[in-house]
Amino acid sequence: MARTTTDLTVIGGGFAGLTAAITAAEAGARVTLHESHHTLGGRARTAEGPYATNEGPHALYSGGPHWTWLKQRDLTGPLAPLPPLEAARLRFHHRGTLRRTPPLALLRLLRHRSEKVPVDQDFLTWATHQVGEEGARAAAHFTSVSLFHHDPGSLSAAFVQERLRRTAKIPPEAHYPRGGWATVIDRMAARAWNLGVRMEVLSRVDTVPTDRSPVIVATSLDSARRLLGDPSLTWDSGRTALIDVALRTRRGDAFAVSGLDFPAWLERFTAQDRTLAPHGQQLVQGQVPIAPNESRAAGTARAEHLLDLGFPDWRDRLEWRADALAQGRTGAVDRPGTTWRDRPAIDRGNDVYLAGDQVAAPGILSEVSFNSAVEATTLALTASRPGLRTA
């Protein structure tokens, strides 16, 4: 008798893993999800305690298919809108000072559609031909908000241009779940539970199950490489110094500081969501990409310089601080001559599929995780149940 229900294993309980689990369960599969940490979420976790920090600055972009998918299932939860007055406090670090407006050259580049920009040329070379070298570098550094890379100008022109247009779009695509990303993860976990997904935390998987049921590996690419014993599972990513500070509230602080002289982004998340820090305090999260041979201290020093400019007397107002280094955890970046199609394939053969932000799927930031998770689930279920259609 033909099997009517597919048993599916998902390894990893972050955004990609939960997307895969929900998609499969909605299609009628029996799903077991394993997460090695004691809580779900992966890099989408929000810290517990008085300061609700994400792992680096996070925003949910509304231009991708994951936004529609989440909204249809009421998984975004309440959003924290940015007050217009706060939006006017975006500052650009250019030519050594903070400015209220970006260089005209950056705005001129926004006219170019990314699909008409060359894939096989680096962004700095292409953009220099359009607006000159200074403007090209400023535009490249601006994209660090979504690239987390120390030299965006060296990446594929088409790849960087897409992110430039998306991150500079007016009205902004970035949205902020009230309470941090954990609220989205909690809603996703609740939906998975209601669909019958078996979720096991503190459940580390060291070998892929061999019972021939489909397996989706929704971990970092480094973890997937170790788990599958496949040295080909590599792709370029960023290396970023992270800094989180809680400051006593002071009127006139910047909402965000975008580094144009060097790639960096600082954002005062309590500008849109007061629940992220105790009353009378402001939570600022920042990231400064650093080169492979640079120390974390070098990135932290650049972040402190921007704090000096955008948040005067911040050291005297400091209530709490945390520093970290994110290496290989900031999504895929495409070198000249490559696109997302050249990244590690989702279908690894033998009923094993990959999902995550460094595999062969389109989009920016969490969109890559979402798209790869849906594709991995579709491939896994249709291979075992021909004719099946997933949502």
For 343-374, write each residue's pLDDT tens digit.
Answer: 999 999 999 999 999 999 999 989 999 999 99
Provide the token pair at 210: 């061999």
- Residue 230 gets the label, from left (phi > 0), alpha (psi -120 to 50) or beta, of beta
Q: Which residue has the tokens 């022109």?
A: 157
Q: Which numeric CATH code is attached to 7-45+181-236+334-384?
A: 3.50.50.60
Burial string for 231-258 (b: 16+ CB within 10 Å, else e) reads eebebebbbbbbbbbbbeeeeebbbbbb
Q: What is the dihedral of CA 263, 268, 271, 274, to 10 degrees?
A: 150
Element (H, E) at 186: helix 182-194
* Amino acid residing at 166: R
Q: How many DSSP H helices and E strands does the chain contain?
A: 13, 15
Confidence of residue 54 (pLDDT cuts 50, 70, 90): confident
For the chain, the average pLDDT equals 93
Domain residue ranges of the chain, discontinuous segments joined by +:
7-45+181-236+334-384, 80-102+169-176+239-327, 104-167
Measuring CA to CA, how many Å separate 276 from each of 75, 91, 238?
20, 22, 27
Asked whether 208 and 97 are in contact (CB, 8 A), the reply is: no
Looking at CATH, the fold of the domain delimited by 80-102+169-176+239-327 is given as: Polyamine Oxidase; Chain A, domain 2 (3.90.660)
Cα-flanking dihedrals φ and ψ of residue 288, to 5°?
-130, 110
Asked whether 277 and 270 are in contact (CB, 8 A), the reply is: yes
Q: What is the CA radius of gyration of the chain?
A: 21
- Residue 350 gets the label, from left (phi > 0), alpha (psi -120 to 50) or beta, of left
- 3-state SS assignment for residue 114: helix
What pLDDT does 170 receive? 85
Confidence of residue 255 (pLDDT cuts 50, 70, 90): very high
CA distance 184 to 41: 9
Q: What share of the chain in percent tops pLDDT 70?
A: 96
Domains 7-45+181-236+334-384 and 80-102+169-176+239-327 alike in fold: no
* pTM of the full structure: 0.94
CA distance 102 to 59: 21
Confidence of residue 63 (pLDDT cuts 50, 70, 90): confident
Please choose, from the candidates 185, 195, 125, 134, the residue with its C-alpha nearest in 3D space to the C-alpha of residue 161.
125
Confidence of residue 385 (pLDDT cuts 50, 70, 90): low
